[in-house]
């Protein structure tokens, strides 16, 4: 059976008190109401600030998790401050602060893991506007810092038997945006230059280093993110297999899609629907089927009159409960295709995380725990 977990909060907590409140007020009540016992696994969003809280200890976290019969199977989106919009990528993988956060999360995982494997998702290197991707030196610096974390994870595995994998979460605003970016980074940097760096640092053969890199660096495949950039599931999965890209975590939700109408009144109605979706904290990139990208939903709305006839996909995390929400289509069929292709090819995905956050698009759907239960059942049905 798939190991399915859910994240009870979208923003990283900033202290142990925040974490207690999140578990007590959100995660635990949802789990108590969820049908069956399939969702007692959780992945928690943390910040480096919280990890530095003297009360944020394994002992205290174990106590609160044990109180509600929850198994911690991963940390999600570890960052320095947790920030909003593009600041979720800050500090990026060029910085010592990012490494400090990853080291702290890995050390905590050693004491909290309930199985022999643990997933830590993180920004896919940097925001794409912060780094000149044409400069090899930038990629070398990013890769070296990833290798420094890998070396630490190898030490943990040798001492404890726990395999921690760093799962890079590709998304429309990150340096690794789509399948092309992911495969290029794996083939040109991780398993070649990265493995050579690790070989030098650990005095191991290049072959052993490459195997080690692929064990500890994986992809956090987010079905909503992949839909926004119009990646095709079958093609992408084959390219991942060919490049040795392992999926460390599968994050399941849906993006939203719409056609921009010619009629002025219809376009005005759609504009109001889109305005209601705007988030003050999350970047919501919009990508047209022709490839044009807006960095945030308000930017796309401002240009809607010049986009007549285009099809837009909007970065959000809608539940996979319906094919349509009001005037907007869900990319649930794309998510279903990912799940079916993964099952058909026998691809290991590690943890499967229910990522839905925009519950407001569901009218009269009932309580959130009921919707989470329905999502879990739907995911299992697609994956068979």
Q: Which pLDDT belongs to residue 359? A: 66
Each residue of 25-40: b (16+ CB within 10 Å) or e? eebbbbbeebeeebbb
d(CA 226, CA 253): 10
Q: Which of 92, 71, 350 is nearest to 216 (CA)?
A: 350
pLDDT at 39: 57
Those residues of the chain that have pLDDT short of 50 are none
Which of these, 108, 56, 77, 94, lies nearest to 7 by C-alpha position? Answer: 77
Q: How far apart are CA 152 and CA 50, in angstroms?
A: 21
Burial (Cβ within 10 Å: 0-12, 13-18, ≥19) of residue 188: middle
Instruction: Read off the pTM.
Output: 0.93
Interatomic CA distance for residues 146 and 195, integer angstroms: 11
Confirm if 220 and 182 have CB atoms less than 8 A apart.
no
Q: How far apart are CA 98 and CA 209, in angstroms?
A: 23
241: left (phi over 0), alpha (psi -120 to 50) or beta: alpha
pLDDT score of 24: 85
- Structural domains of the chain sorted by starting position, each given as residue range(s) with its CATH number in brackets: 4-254+327-383 (3.20.20.150)
Q: What is the reported pLDDT for 178?
A: 96
The count of other CB atoms within 10 Å of the CB of residue 103 is 16
pLDDT for the residue 45: 81
pLDDT at residue 371, as a whole number? 81
Residue 157 has a pLDDT of 98
Helices 332-345 & 368-383 angle (0-180, nearest 10): 40
First-last CA distance in the chain: 10
Strand bridging mode 324-325 / 328-330: antiparallel
Q: What is the pLDDT of residue 231?
A: 98
């Amino acid at each position: 059976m798939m190991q399915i977990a859910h994240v009870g909060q979208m923003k990283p907590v900033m202290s142990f008190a925040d974490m207690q409140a999140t578990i007590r007020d959100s995660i635990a009540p949802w789990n108590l109401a969820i049908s069956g016992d399939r969702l007692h696994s959780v992945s928690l969003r943390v910040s480096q600030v919280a990890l530095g809280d003297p009360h944020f200890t394994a002992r205290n976290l174990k106590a609160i998790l044990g109180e509600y019969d929850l198994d911690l199977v991963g940390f999600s989106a570890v960052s320095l401050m947790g920030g909003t919009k593009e600041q979720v990528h800050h500090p990026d993988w060029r910085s010592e602060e990012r490494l400090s956060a990853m080291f702290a999360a890995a050390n905590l995982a050693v004491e909290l893991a309930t199985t022999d494997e643990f997933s830590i998702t993180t920004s896919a290197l940097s925001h794409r506007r912060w780094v000149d991707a044409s400069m090899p030196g930038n990629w070398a610096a990013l890769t070296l810092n990833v290798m420094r974390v890998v070396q630490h994870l190898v030490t943990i595995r040798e001492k404890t038997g726990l395999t921690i994998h760093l799962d890079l979460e590709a998304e429309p605003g990150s340096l690794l945006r789509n399948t092309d970016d992911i495969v290029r980074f794996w083939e040109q940097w991780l398993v070649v230059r990265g493995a050579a760096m690790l070989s030098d640092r650990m005095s191991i053969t290049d072959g052993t280093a490459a195997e080690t890199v692929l064990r500890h660096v994986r992809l956090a495949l987010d079905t909503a993110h992949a839909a926004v950039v119009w990646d095709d599931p079958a093609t992408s999965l084959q390219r991942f297999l060919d490049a040795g890209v392992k999926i460390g975590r599968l994050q399941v939700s849906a993006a939203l899609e719409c056609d921009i109408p010619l009629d002025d009144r219809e376009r005005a109605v759609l504009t109001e629907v889109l305005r209601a979706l705007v988030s003050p904290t999350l970047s919501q990139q919009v990508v047209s089927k022709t490839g044009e990208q807006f960095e945030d939903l308000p930017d796309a709305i401002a240009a809607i009159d010049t986009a007549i006839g285009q099809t837009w996909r909007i970065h959000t995390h809608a539940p996979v409960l319906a094919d349509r929400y009001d005037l907007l289509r869900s990319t649930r069929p794309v998510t279903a295709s990912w799940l079916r292709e993964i099952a058909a090819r026998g691809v290991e995905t590690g943890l499967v995380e229910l990522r839905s956050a925009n519950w407001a698009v569901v009218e009269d759907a009932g309580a959130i725990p009921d919707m989470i239960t329905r999502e879990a059942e739907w995911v299992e049905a697609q994956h068979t």
